[in-house]
A and B are shown apart, each in its own frame.
Chain A
């Protein structure tokens, strides 16, 4: 299944003001893997995610999706393959109603209205939000916004799901629903998060970032057992490890 390979090769990126955000990031994620990217604030997690669907262009190195480097020619294809869920759902819900918002990506594929309707409703039912279809996004609660934002990405049937802090700001019940929903997604998942307990529930592999580099890459159990590593990256072991203080 090499077509769903996500590979970063010596990725480097500096913001226009010269501040370096990524500094030689390399990894390979195979199809079906569920990978967490963890690290302190400003470690470069969000910047890295924005490279995975070509929103940001690296100043050094390359990202390869399915064995091809991201280029102008395959950008549309890459963005359909790698669905991105943003940290702030308000950034992602820009259309006037929930239905229009979820249909946004499909409209750009030129599908027939009946097909769009069917796929939007299926995506809404998947996230348990079918009753919200004609509501404007700003009248939704935080959990509903997140669910709708996820539906807007799932509707594109991506093979890779890229998520920036999907569980932040959710109440425990909504967070649990989200974890169950994501666990049901069979394809590749890449999650940047501070929610290490969710990582334990959801991911088989953890990449630890610090100052724009990957400093560790391994099983969650191994990474979370390394207290020195976590401390040096402004992290703590997850609550369920019970080894704090």
Chain B
């Protein structure tokens, strides 16, 4: 819990990158969103035992990060946070699916291990792409673009509010935790009940704040409809070109399996 402030700093720093002028920031955010969605669909469309065929897809997040001027190391750290969840999903696959699928250095590899690896690779790829998307666009432009793409405003508004108030609530949690630490005389482990009570307090404070925000909205004429946010977007030929290039490369990777091609080519040289 000591790293709450650190986590908030990360949220802010992710936002700060969105203000940078990169090549990608000149592309219509809708094109970037659609390209990322196409990428995610491509990743999940592979067979559940696919491992080698997924690897070339890593080009997409790498290129996207490059175009958006975002350091892969920073994204990598955040991807690690998502991995335990993916691990939970695939943890028991090696136990249930023991049929050997291929041999690696004379060792039979079961389908379960393959699908677990596949799940982990897919998680890394999709989470990284999504994080890069958010870091490139910033929540504001992302939501404006989602709105123009026809996502219900109720959802984009919730995203915006969550993003706006996660910092405020995180700050409250951080202060509460600091107060607890200062009074707990250096003992870092406390009964679970204390944490339960803290979370309960946080929930109540959150509800109260939500109520006050709603009152502030009502005071300023809110009638159930959120106004459109952000500047108007305009689609240029280069947005079409960017999206088309992404789709073509993704379709090619999906259809041809370049890893296998490379393998066959190397084998051809060797023999």
Contact = CB atoms under 8 A, between A and B. Distances in A.
Interface residues of A, number: 31
Contact of B220 (A50, A104, A136, A139): A104
A96 B222 contact: no
B215 A55 contact: yes
Interface of B: 12, 15, 139-140, 143, 160-161, 163-165, 167-168, 209, 212-213, 215-223, 225, 227-230
Q: Tell me whether chain B's interface is mostly helix, strand or loop, or mixed.
A: helix
A95 to B, nearest CB: 6
A34 interface: no
Nearest to B141: A96
Contacts of B228: 107
Contacts, number: 81
Interface string A83-127: 110101011101111001001110111000000000000000000
A91 B220 CA distance: 12
B219 A79 contact: yes
26 contacts: A55-B219, A76-B221, A79-B218, A79-B219, A83-B219, A86-B212, A86-B215, A86-B219, A90-B209, A91-B209, A91-B216, A92-B216, A94-B164, A96-B140, A96-B163, A103-B227, A104-B217, A105-B220, A105-B221, A107-B227, A108-B222, A108-B223, A108-B227, A136-B15, A138-B164, A156-B221
A138 B140 contact: no
B10 to A, nearest CB: 14
A94 B220 CA distance: 12
A159 interface: no
Nearest to A162: B219
Interface of A: 50, 53, 55, 76, 79-80, 83-84, 86, 88, 90-92, 94-97, 100, 103-105, 107-109, 136-139, 152-153, 156
A84 B218 CA distance: 10
Contact of A91 (B212, B221, B222, B230): B212
A92 B221 CA distance: 13
B220 A138 contact: no
